[in-house]
Amino acid sequence: MADQPQKDERYKARQQKIKAEVDARVDAAQEEKGLFLIITGNGKGKSTSGFGTIARAVGHGQKCGVGQFIKGTWACGERNLLEQNGVDFAVMATGFTWETQNKEADTAAAQETWAACKQMLADDQYDVVLLDELTYMVTYGYVELDEVVEAIANRPPMQSVVVTGRGAHRTLIEMADTVSEVRNVKHAFESGVKARQGVDW
């Protein structure tokens, strides 16, 4: 069995190698531009990740905007906090589509919110824009995919955009710089636990 000094040496050598590799990758990444991120998949954590990014940017003094498609019946904790910190919100006026079951009204509400989002995507004052649950608007046909592609592609070069929601369209996935898929391993709701304020909304 190797004695302790030998183990320490090997540990040090391994760490040095990792550091050299990381440093090389950091040096190689020279491009500076706003990023397009997608957080998709069936597991919990997409919107919280999007809002986490907004909180991070606000912490650096950056200007942020949030478009919320599919508003629930509950007030959203993130909005309460972030609006007080200068984040602009465009929130869809209707509740979940499966509750209203009125395609015309849902389309109009989605279009109104999308119009406000397009303004943010065209405004270089915004450093980061979160389009929460936008994927569903494309899936249901409330917002045209081509319009989304155009607005995101033509946004100010230093502006970052985060899109959340299940089933992100493959065209958006191809366009994005960073895509993460949150996989559902298990969720409390499946074992009959109620959604919880502060955790789920």
Asked whether the beta carbons of 36 and 176 are under 8 A apart, the reply is yes
The rounded Cα 178 to chain-centroid distance in angstroms is 10
Contact with Mg ion (CB under 5 A) among 38, 41, 46, 67: 46
Query: DSSP H helical segments within 34-183, as ranges?
Result: 46-59, 77-83, 97-100, 103-121, 134-140, 145-153, 170-175
- Partner in contact with 195, chosen from ligand ATP, Mg ion, none, beta carbon below 5 to 8 Å by kind: ligand ATP
Q: d(Cα 156, Cα 147) in Å, to the nearest integer?
A: 16
Q: Is 71 in the site for Mg ion (CB under 5 A)?
A: no
> Using CB under 6 A as the criterion, which residues of the chain lie in contact with ligand ATP when the complex forms?
42-48, 133, 164, 166, 182, 184, 187, 189, 195, 200-201
For the bound state, the minimum distance from the C-beta of residue 163 to ligand ATP, rounded and expressed in Å, comes to 12
The SS3 call for residue 200 is: coil
For the bound state, the minimum distance from the C-beta of residue 128 to ligand ATP, rounded and expressed in Å, comes to 17
For the bound state, the minimum distance from the C-beta of residue 158 to ligand ATP, rounded and expressed in Å, comes to 26
Contact with Mg ion (CB under 5 A) among 40, 47, 53, 135: 47
- Partner in contact with 79, chosen from Mg ion, ligand ATP, none, beta carbon below 5 to 8 Å by kind: none
Number of residues that bind Mg ion (CB under 5 A): 2
Residues that bind Mg ion (CB under 5 A): 46-47
